[in-house]
Amino acid sequence: MNFALVTYEPITLYTAAHVEDEDALLADFLRAKGHAVTFEIWTDAAVDWRRYDAVVLKSPWDYFDRVQEFYAWLDKLRHLGVQLLNPVEVVRWNSDKKYLLDLERAGVRIVPTRWLERGTSFEPDTLFNTFQTEQLIVKPAVSGGSKNTFAFNPEEAADQAAHITALLAAEDFLAQPFLPEIQSEGEWSFIYLGGRYSHCVLKTPKSGDFRVQHYLGGGIEPQEAPESLRRVADDIVARFALGCLYARVDGVQAGGEFFLMELELIEPFLYLDSAKGALERYEAGLLELVS
């Protein structure tokens, strides 16, 4: 079959030296299986998306910097009748972290969150009192790669209040208490391919940091999925990732319960080199979904 793997310009992947280039790994595998695979930049107006059996979002890692342009591109693919994986409606919903409200209303336990609306002022004292925490995480509602993500103690938050208020003039943000389990235990990522559980990794931040991304120095360790946590992740994917080729459920265990941090359905790193058979499962899911 003929597939496009969607990336961005410039084609510079956020990888660390110990992390294999996942895009190339996947493309080589699919080509070895007899498929035609082309990397296409989503902002390239010259691409004829209709020539592909399916267009797969792999690494459009600048979409959140150009989100209105990205939405217009999604509308274009829908108008052209192009099959996008993951589906257009799911991708649009998942692009704004307010999707977490839908999950919370449906009974999913998320990290406690307060929404900071565009045009409002950042009031850290209120947030510290609300969460009863000494460390606050603040990040944009549309973002990725830890861009404009901050960790504040009360003194730092007071010093940066004007800066956050300036950022709020342009976009919505959210605030959450920092969960110390991220540093003591790590962040769990459960990866699903073709709607079925594939594998699991535990991500840990480097010393003194709170961000677990591997390109920021975080550690990645393949793990057997704890059964109690996986049941929660299975339920989330079954209800909120319908028709998806891939899904990544990120969360932390605190007080014996799983708290969802993100349901990644647009361009997550899938750690395909960390589990035997993951590439085969990716291809199987792809072929099941392509109409």
Same domain for 103 and 205?
Answer: yes
Same domain for 104 and 194?
Answer: yes
Identify the CA nearest to 70 among candidates 38, 101, 96: 96
Indicate whether this model's pTM tops 0.85. yes
Same domain for 141 and 185?
Answer: no
Same domain for 205 and 146?
Answer: no
Name which residue leads in pLDDT, 255 or 20.
Answer: 255
| The total number of structural domains that make up the chain | 3
Which structural domain, as residue segments, surrounds residue 44? 2-93
Same domain for 76 and 219?
Answer: no
Lowest mean pLDDT among 99-103, 146-150, 219-223: 146-150
Q: Dihedral angle at the C-alpha atoms of 232, 236, 239, 243, nearest 10 degrees?
A: -130
| Structure token pair of residue 254 | 């605190």
Name which residue leads in pLDDT, 53 or 206.
Answer: 53
Instruction: Tell how strand 2-7 and strand 36-41 pair up.
Output: parallel
- Mean pLDDT, residues 155-174 taken together: 96
- Mean pLDDT, residues 75-100 taken together: 98
Same domain for 253 and 165?
Answer: no
Is 212 within a domain? Answer: yes
Same domain for 50 and 152?
Answer: no
Q: Give the model's pLDDT for residue 23.
A: 95
Is 285 within a domain? Answer: no
Is 288 within a domain? Answer: no
Alpha helices, DSSP H, located in 144-251: 154-168, 181-184, 227-240
Q: Give the model's pLDDT for residue 200.
A: 97
- Mean pLDDT, residues 135-164 taken together: 92
Backbone angles phi, psi at 48, to 5 degrees: -95, 95
- Domain of 20, CATH number, reads 3.40.50.20
Does residue 199 surpass a pLDDT of 50?
Answer: yes
Q: Give the model's pLDDT for residue 182.
A: 87
Name which residue leads in pLDDT, 35 or 291.
Answer: 35
Is 74 within a domain? Answer: yes
